[in-house]
Amino acid sequence: MINDIKQVENKMQLLEEQREQVLSLSRELIRNAGKAIVAMHAKDKKKAVRLLSEMEKARSALMKNESGFEYNSLQAHQEYVEAKVLESIIFRNKIPSMKELKTDEKAYALGLMDVVGELKREAFDSLLNNNVKAANNYYAFMVEIYDSTLHLRFANAILPEFRRKQDAARIQVENTASEVLRAKEK
């Protein structure tokens, strides 16, 4: 038997354990981000803040363990961005910067595209409650995000799924525009 094979096996086992931990922490972060978004839509700020805190803990642990497995954790980071941007827009009426979120370019761009759908939901909920001003505000954030990213064109290997998300955001912006305009005309 080749002497180095045991060393190879040991190293691969360690990498396998690290990958499993990255996947587990990613799932935890994604779950908490999703639950926090649901709580924000339900206007349950206390629950949202608690879940966002849990999300932050999972993210911190993930960042300590993800080296070499960033591909496996990208979705978790974009879900983090989506939840944090939605929180900032709902509670502070501003889009946080990449620096404020301490995230990278891919997660930021992808998370911004995803939050457009959440803003559409907030706009529609506002319209259902006859709050055209709030709906218009959410719509304005949707347009700002979409227009700011419109010129970004990169291969899927560079920025995975961005074009698809961008197309979905365009449709959401258009649908929301027609609903907000219709509400204004009433």
Q: Is 77 in the same domain as 122?
A: no
Query: For residue range 82-106, what is the model confidence (pLDDT) as tens digits?
Result: 999 999 999 999 999 999 999 999 9
Q: Is 38 in the same domain as 90?
A: yes
**pTM of this structure:** 0.93
Single out the residue in 71, 103, 135 at which a domain terminates.
103
Q: How confident is the model at residue 183 (pLDDT cuts 50, 70, 90)?
A: confident
Using CA atoms, how far apart are residues 109 and 129, in angstroms rounded to an integer? 31
Q: Is 52 in the same domain as 119?
A: no
Q: Is 95 in the same domain as 14?
A: yes
Single out the residue in 103, 118, 136 at which a domain terminates.
103
- What's the total number of domains in the chain? 2
Q: Is 3 in the same domain as 60?
A: yes
Q: Is 95 in the same domain as 152?
A: no
- For residue 169, the domain's CATH number is 1.20.58.2140
Single out the residue in 103, 134, 165 at which a domain terminates.
103
Which pLDDT score, from 0 to 100, does residue 1 have? 72
With the CA atoms of 106, 107, 111 and 112 taken in that order, what torsion angle do they form, in degrees rounded to the nearest 10? Answer: -50
Q: Is 16 in the same domain as 99?
A: yes
Q: Is 127 in the same domain as 88?
A: no
- Please check the confidence at residue 151 and state whether its pLDDT lies above 80: yes
- Please check the confidence at residue 185 and state whether its pLDDT lies above 80: no
Q: Is 92 in the same domain as 131?
A: no
Query: For residue range 56-76, what is the model confidence (pLDDT) as tens digits?
Result: 999 999 999 999 999 999 999
Question: HSE (CB half, 13 Å, CA atoms) of 138?
Answer: 27
Query: For residue range 121-145, what is the model confidence (pLDDT) as tens digits?
Result: 999 999 999 999 999 999 999 999 9
**By 3-state DSSP, what share of the chain in percent is helix, strand and coil, each rounded to 5?**
80, 0, 20
- Domain coverage including residue 122: 107-186
Name the average pLDDT for the chain. Answer: 95
